[in-house]
Amino acid sequence: MTLKILLVDDEALARMRLKTLLGDCHAPSAQVVAEAANTVRAVEALQHHAIDAVLADIHMPGADGLTLAQALKNRTPPVSVVFVTAYAEHAVQAFELEAVDYLTKPVRLDRLQSALQKIERTMQARQALEPHLMDDFLIIQEHGNVLRVALSEVLYLKAELKYITVRTASHSYLLEGSLGDMEERYGTRFMRIHRNALVARSAVRALKKHHHPEEGEGWAVRLTGIDEALWVSRRQIPNVRMLLSSV
C-alpha cells in the first residue's frame, strides 16, 4: 500500500526533511501529494486531493494543528492525523482528538515508519467496519463539497486524462483515479467496452451501428437514462452481445 500524505508545517525545511524521510519508508510506503504552510491551505488541499493522512505540526500561525484535527474528526471520507511537533505537552489533547500518532521532532525514521503502519491499520479497520462505503458508493469532491454517489446510479466511468468522468442520469462528476483500478474493484457491476470506458452492466439496453469521427464505422452501446452513445472497441463487441443476450 502507498499512503497519500498531506504535510502541514509552516517551516519549509521541516516539510522537506519529513518528505525525505517518507521517501525512505516502506511497508507501507508514502507519497506526499500536497503540502501546506497553515491550516487554511491544508483545508484547501484536502478539497482538491485524495488524502489518506495528514502529518501536521501543532504550532503554526493562525489556526493551529489541533484546530485542524478537530475540523477533520467527522470528515467523509475519513483522514488520519499524525502530529509532528517539537512540543511533547500536547500529546493528551492530540489523542483526545483521535490522532493516530504523535511524533516529536527531530523525527526518527523508525518512528515515522511505525506511524505509517498505524495509519494503514486504522484504514483497514475502517474498511472492515464499513465495507458498504467501499462497495456501494464513490466518494467525490466537487467545488469544496464531499459527495457520496451511489454506484447503483452510475451509468458509465470514462477516463479523461488524469480524471475519470462519473456519469449518472442527471449529473457528471470528475474523480481522480485509474480506470483499471475501478474495473478491478467494481468488475461485477461494470464491464469494459473500450480502453477508456466502463459501463454499468444493468444499464446496457442496445448495441447499435455508429459512426465515430475518428474510428469510422463501428458499434456503440446505448444506456438506459441517457441519449449518449458510447463507442465499443471491436474486441469488446462479443462481450456486449453476450450481455444483451442474457438479459
pLDDT in tens, 149-192: 888 899 999 998 788 999 999 999 998 888 888 888 888 899 99
Cell numbers given for 212: 465515430
Residues 145 and 124 in one domain: no
Domain count, the chain: 2
Query: Looking at residue 54, what is its pLDDT?
Result: 96
Residues 156 and 55 in one domain: no
Residue type, 62: G
The last residue of one of the domains, among 97, 129, 161, is: 129
Residues 107 and 216 in one domain: no
Residues 117 and 223 in one domain: no
CA atoms within 13 A on the CB side of 132: 2
| Structure confidence by residue, pLDDT tens digits, 88-116 | 888 888 888 889 999 999 999 999 999 99
Residues 26 and 104 in one domain: yes
Residues 23 and 125 in one domain: yes
Query: Looking at residue 159, what is its pLDDT?
Result: 93
Residues 139 and 81 in one domain: no
Residues 93 and 157 in one domain: no
Q: Is the pLDDT of residue 81 over 70?
A: yes
Instruction: Identify the residue whose cell numbers are 477533520.
Output: 72
Domain span at 202: 135-246
Which CATH number characterizes residue 221's domain? 2.40.50.1020
- Look at strands 101-104 and 80-85 and give their pairing: parallel
Q: Would you give the distance in Å from CA 226 to the centre of its chain? A: 27
- Look at strands 197-200 and 154-160 and give their pairing: antiparallel
Residues 160 and 221 in one domain: yes
Q: Would you give the distance in Å from CA 20 to the centre of its chain? A: 23
Residue 129: band (very low, low, confident or very high) from pLDDT cuts 50, 70, 90: low
Cell numbers given for 81: 492525523
pTM of the full structure? 0.56
- Kindly report the average pLDDT of the chain as a whole number: 88
Residues 13 and 65 in one domain: yes
Q: Are 214 and 233 in contact (CB under 8 A)?
A: no
Q: Enter the DSSP assignment of 99.
A: -
Residues 82 and 175 in one domain: no
The last residue of one of the domains, among 83, 112, 129, is: 129
The last residue of one of the domains, among 64, 98, 129, is: 129
Query: Percent of the chain at pLDDT above 90?
Result: 57
Q: Are 221 and 193 in contact (CB under 8 A)?
A: yes
Query: Looking at residue 76, what is its pLDDT?
Result: 66
Which CATH number characterizes residue 113's domain? 3.40.50.2300
Residues 159 and 233 in one domain: yes
> What is the spatial distance between Cα 99 and Cα 38, in angstroms, rounded to a whole number?
18
| Structure confidence by residue, pLDDT tens digits, 14-51 | 999 999 999 999 989 999 999 999 999 998 888 778 78
Residues 6 or more apart whose Cβ sits within 8 Å of residue 137 = 148, 149, 150, 151
Q: Is the pLDDT of residue 135 over 70?
A: no
Say whether 166 sits in a helix, a strand or coil: strand
Q: Is the pLDDT of residue 141 over 80?
A: no
